[in-house]
Each structure stands twice: as structure tokens, then as C-alpha cells.
Amino acid sequence: MLSYRHGYHAGNAADVLKHFTLIYVLDYVKKKDKNFIFIDSHAGAGKYSVSDPYMQKNKEYLQGIEKIFKINNDDIFLKNYLNLIKLINSNSNLKIYPGSCYLAAKRLGVDDKLHFIELHPTEFLNLKKNFEDDSRIIIENEDSYKRLIKLLPPKEKRAVILIDPSYELKDEYEKVSKMLSSCYKKFPLGVYIIWYPVLSNKKSESFVLNILKENYKNLSHIEMITDNSNDGMQGSGLFIINCPWSIEKDIKKSLETIFNCLKKSNDLSKLLFKNIIN
């Protein structure tokens, strides 16, 4: 949606869940000594200044990254995520919150490739500015629902594909389901990360059921409800297709730590982690 600006929400609880999981998946894929490509279907601006009016309007980051930015924890997977954000901020206070594509660009190797798609004209220009000197990256001002499938299968044969639209359009859940199904049929070996919001109007429930009914291989489902008193977004979820086989053993404890830091003090907060390895 062309009115959507992610800066209003950057660094919130949903970003923490999404970006923590993304770093884990990228690090896992990197273990194999073969190049791969990271594709972000809705890239946004790439990074966001905490002092920017967009971030300061709702200050959602105060209920997200700010709560865990300086926690002391020996969990290696949580440290991998937090240390990268600290590195981007020169190990000082939180001044910049990096989006998915910025985190991926910092994490991938010199021979890996990145492909970012962003439809919003202003966000696209900001995105180009933030990555103008990185030859690994292709940035396109396109509609992902038409463009993404044309990028598959990639010549690298290995890919992590993040699908994370705003879901502000009425038919967005359906469009994501259809796009994912088409992309998977064309490139079933890709690692797909699909983010979605959990809203008070229950719109995500049929979307979740539709994904679970599909025959996606090695599927992980994570859902984190941190504020059930909210009339809008109460939490968010992720599906990871072709997920790392050790994902539950690796990061379940990390997710519990994040959840306990971010949840509001009510009995309706919950963390769901379901693995369907097949």
C-alpha cells in the first residue's frame, strides 16, 4: 500500500521477532560453503533513525527493541541478533534500527547477492540511498506480487526469501497465500520466511489455516501475542518453509526470553511454536 511507511512501526515487538528469526536463518544457511541470495519482497527504507518523526510518533520501538537492547543473556542466538544491532549503532545507545534488508546486507558474504523490492516511491529512493555503494544488491521499484515469482528459481540455486507486506489491503492475506503457493511450486528448495500480523479482528486466522493446509516441506510456525488488550495489532507470527531442522532446539529458549521481555502483564499473552518436519 502506497500510504504505508514502516518507520512508524520500526523496532516494535513484531520487528524483534521477525529480525531475530531472520538472523538465525541466515546464519544457518551460511554454514554451507555455497553462495546464496536473499530476497526481500517488501524492503521498506532499509534502516530507520530513532530520532525520525516517523519513529517518534508512535514510539513502538519502546515496546520492542528498546526492552531487550541491553539485556545480559548468554544465549548465542539472541546475542547474534543483538550484537549485530549494537555493531550498527557503534556499540552506543540505540540510534538506528536496521530493517530486514539492512541486517541481511551486514550478515551476508562478499560473494552473496541481495535483491530488494519496494513499491512505495519515497521508500524506494531512501532504500537506494542506503545501499548506493553495495554492488551485491539489486533494488527495484516494483510490485512484489508480480515481480517476485519472476526472480525464481535464482541462478544461485539457494535463496532465503522474506515475504513481509503491511497487510493493510483487504485482500493482502489472500494475495500472500497465492503468491507463496506459486513461488513454492516454481522454486520448492527456497527457504521462505512469511511474516503476518495478529489483529484483534481475527483476520489472520483463516490465513494461518490456509498455510497449514498446504503441503509445504519442513514448516515452522511461530506466533507471539504480546498485547491482547490492544484493539489493533496484538502480536505477529512467522512461517518458515524449509526451516533448519534444528530450529526448535536452537531458538525455542531464545524466543521464550524475548517473549518474557516484551509481553504485557496479562494472562492472554502467549507464545506458540510448532514444527512440522516432513
Active site residues: 164
Distance between CA atoms of residues 174 and 207, nearest Å: 7
Cell of 265: 502483564
Q: Which residue has the cell 556499540?
A: 91
Residues 34 and 158 sit within 8 Å (Cβ to Cβ) = yes
3-state secondary structure 123-190: HHHHHHHHCCCCCCEEEECCCHHHHHHHHCCCCCCCEEEEECCCCCCCCHHHHHHHHHHHHHHHCCCC
Cell of 189: 528448495
Residues 170-189 as b or e (16 or more Cβ within 10 Å = b): eebbeebbebbeebbeebee
C-alpha 58: how far from its chain's center? 20
